[in-house]
Each structure stands twice: as structure tokens, then as C-alpha cells.
Amino acid sequence: MSRLSVELPGLHLKNPVMPASGCFGFGREYSQFFDLDILGAIMIKATTPEPRFGNPTPRVAETSSGMLNAIGLQNPGLEKVISEELAWLSRYDVPIIANVAGSQIDDYVKVASEISKAGNVKALELNISCPNVKEGGIAFGTVPEVAKEVTKAVKEVSSVPVYVKLSPNVSNIVDMAKAVEDGGADGLTMINTLVGMRLDLKTGKPILSNRTGGLSGPAIKPVALRMIYEVSQQVSIPIIGMGGIATAEDVIEFFYAGASAVAVGTANFVDPFVCPTIIEELPKLLDELGFDHISECTGRSWKQNETVTNNRS
């Protein structure tokens, strides 16, 4: 067995590295750079029942060591995602995690029930944390009871395990995590972007047409690590960690915090080869750190036996 392989609900991952939703389209663009088969999985762009054009431009703005985006869930709609994008992806031997979005519970239920039947979709990522759509989206991800309710409804109709993507824009991330675990979530993905803003020096107005956007990139890594550290100790479902990952070292740090797999987001925009590079470098890093298998790293920051060992030494 490969020292990078990971078993998660619905997912047999040859390695724990996958591109994050919204940062990899539906894979086509990146297939010109490398064979998508080398990826652990692919989290495809959010899918809504109907097509969405998204927000007017400007949709991106830069920030220190990060970027703001307000794309607005642009996608061709459920029908085309299944008939064109997922059909195209079926040539690859890579599990797909379909990101499911909507503006009301019925939307999530509709997308989840149909997209989970596609053969290559091995898990769903319930997107209750997009900060860039006015209705729905994040509203589901900031109130624990509502998050639980939508998780439950989706679990009832989904043919594959359901991971819920948590928003960092909450006062208590552990409460959110516990609520969706109660609702039947098979796993968590975290974190989505942090709501932020930039203003134009000359006009004084927001740079993004949506005014606010989601902050991603290396700038949010410490926030993601802290939240995964807190949540992983309080829930018994696995976490796919994300938030500013750009190197193999970042991956190990997320595992230490409590993640069982990771997703790479914004870094794909800077370097289209970042995922293959990380996958190639991970075994060397495990050697350096003295691990046989990557799963030994999960939760090392808080696991009791590690603490005891450290105290003795």
C-alpha cells in the first residue's frame, strides 16, 4: 500500500492531495499541464440546479499573500455539469467530489440527488459557505440549526457520502461542525474563504463589483489550521483541510492540525503544476520527518500520546 494512500468515507485516495472547488474548474484547463489521474481526487466547481452567470467583473482583487474573489458560483447548471463536465472527467481514474450549491434547501436536495448518481462522483461537498451569493449559500453555513437541517435533507437523497464545507465566518466553528455531524455528515471540508474587502485608492470605492469577496491564499493558512485544530478534537468525522496550502510542508502542517486529506486552492492559479509538485515531494518529506505513512501525521498537534512523549523528553 502506498504511504500516501488515504481511506475516507466513499473515497479511496491514492494520495491525500486534491484541487479545491472553484480553483480547478472542471479539470479541463489543467489537463493540458498534467495527467489528472495522479491526483488524489478532484473537487469540481460548485454546481447549482440552474445555470448561473455569476457576478459582474471585477471579480478578483489582490491582497497581501492572498486574493479576494467574488465569482458568484458561475456554472453551467446541473444538467450540463452531468452531461458534459462529469462525462468528460470519466476518462480519468480519479474520484470526483461534487460541490453542491443552491439558494434554498430544495436546490441542494435536487443537485445532490442527481449529481450523486453520476458514476465518478464518489462524494459530495455541501457548499453552505459561499460568501459571494446574496441569497442562500452562507446563510446556511452560519446558523448551526439550519446547517444541520440542510445536511440532513441532503443525506436523505444522496447516493454517496456527504462532506460539509464549513465557513470560517462564524463565531464558533466547533458548534457548526457538531451541528452538521449531528445532521449526518460523513466528513467536513474546511475552511471556505474569509469575507474581506479592498478599496480603490483613487475612487474610494470597493474594487470588487460585489463589494466584498472571499479571501484565500497563504494569508488564511493560520486561521484554517487553528479551526481544524479545534474542530478535529471535537468531532469523530474526518476533515479534508484547505486554506492557503501551496507546499508539501503546508500539507503536513494541516495533517498535524487534524486533517486526513487536503485540498489545494489558490496556489493552482499561481502555479498550475502545484498539485503534482506537492504529491511528488510528500514522500521525501515523510522520510525527513520519520513517518512511514502520511496518516500518522493526522492530529499530531493534539494527540495525547504525543504530548506525553514530549513531556518526558
Partner 1 sequence: MIKKERMKVLNHKELAPSIFELTLQGELVSEMNQPGQFVQVKTTEGTEPLLRRPISISSYNRSENQFTMIYRAEGKGTTLLSQRKEAEAVDILGPLGNGFPVHEAKQGETALLVGGGIGVPPLYQLSQMLVAKGVTVIHVLGFQTKSAIFYEKEFSELGDTYIATVDGSYGTKGFVTTVIDNLEQEFATIFSCGPTPMLRALESGYREKKLFLSLEERMGCGIGACFACVCHTGDDPTGFSYKKVCSDGPVFRAGEVVL
Nearest to 4 by CA among 237, 236, 226, 276: 276
Task: Rule CB under 8 A: say whether 62 interacts with partner 1.
Answer: yes
- Tell me if residue 130 is catalytic: yes
Q: Which of 67, 235, 294, 297 binds partner 1 (CB under 8 A)?
A: 67
Task: Rule CB under 8 A: say whether 104 interacts with partner 1.
Answer: no
Q: Which of 17, 61, 180, 262 binds partner 1 (CB under 8 A)?
A: 61
Minimum Å gap between C-beta 234 and partner 1 is 31
Residue 128, H or E segment:
none
Three-state DSSP state, 264: strand
Per-residue x/- marks for partner 1, 18-47, CB under 8 A?
Answer: ----xxxx--xxx-xx-----------x--
- How far is the C-alpha of 293 from the C-alpha of 13, rounded, in Å? 13
Minimum Å gap between C-beta 219 and partner 1 is 8
Q: Which of 218, 241, 243, 276 binds partner 1 (CB under 8 A)?
A: 218
User: What is the footprint of partner 1 within residues 237-256 (CB under 8 A)?
Assistant: 246
Q: Which of 7, 106, 271, 280 binds partner 1 (CB under 8 A)?
A: 271
Task: Give 183's contacts (C-beta < 8 A, 6+ positions apart).
Answer: 147, 148, 149, 150, 151, 152, 155, 164
| Mutual angle of helices 221-232 and 248-257, in 10-degree steps | 30
If one counts every other C-beta atom within 10 angstroms of the C-beta of residue 149, the result is 16
* Strand ranges (E), the chain: 6-8, 11-13, 17-19, 42-47, 60-63, 66-69, 96-100, 121-127, 162-165, 187-190, 194-196, 213-216, 239-241, 261-264
Q: Which of 270, 280, 284, 308 binds partner 1 (CB under 8 A)?
A: 270
Three-state DSSP state, 276: helix
- Could you list the residues known to form a binding site for FMN, using ranges: 21, 45-46, 99, 127, 165, 191, 217, 243-244, 265-266
Decide whether 151 or 210 has the Cβ nearer to partner 1: 210
Task: Rule CB under 8 A: say whether 203 interacts with partner 1.
Answer: no
Vertex 244, ends 39 and 59: CA angle to 5°?
95
- Could you list the residues known to form a binding site, using ranges: 21, 45-46, 69-73, 99, 127, 165, 191-193, 217, 243-244, 265-266
- How far is the C-alpha of 295 from the C-alpha of 293, rounded, in Å? 6
Q: Which of 92, 269, 291, 302 binds partner 1 (CB under 8 A)?
A: 269
Phi, psi for residue 122 in degrees, rounded to 5: -100, -15
Phi, psi for residue 254 in degrees, rounded to 5: -65, -40
Decide whether 54 or 283 has the Cβ nearer to partner 1: 54
Q: Select from 69-77, 170-178, 186-194, 286-294 the region that touches partner 1 (CB under 8 A).
A: 69-77
- Could you list the residues known to form a binding site for substrate, using ranges: 45, 69-73, 127, 192-193
Footprint on this chain of partner 1 (rule: CB under 8 A): 22-25, 28-30, 32-33, 45, 51-54, 57-62, 64-67, 69, 71, 74, 76-77, 217-218, 246, 266, 268-273
Annotated catalytic residues are: 130
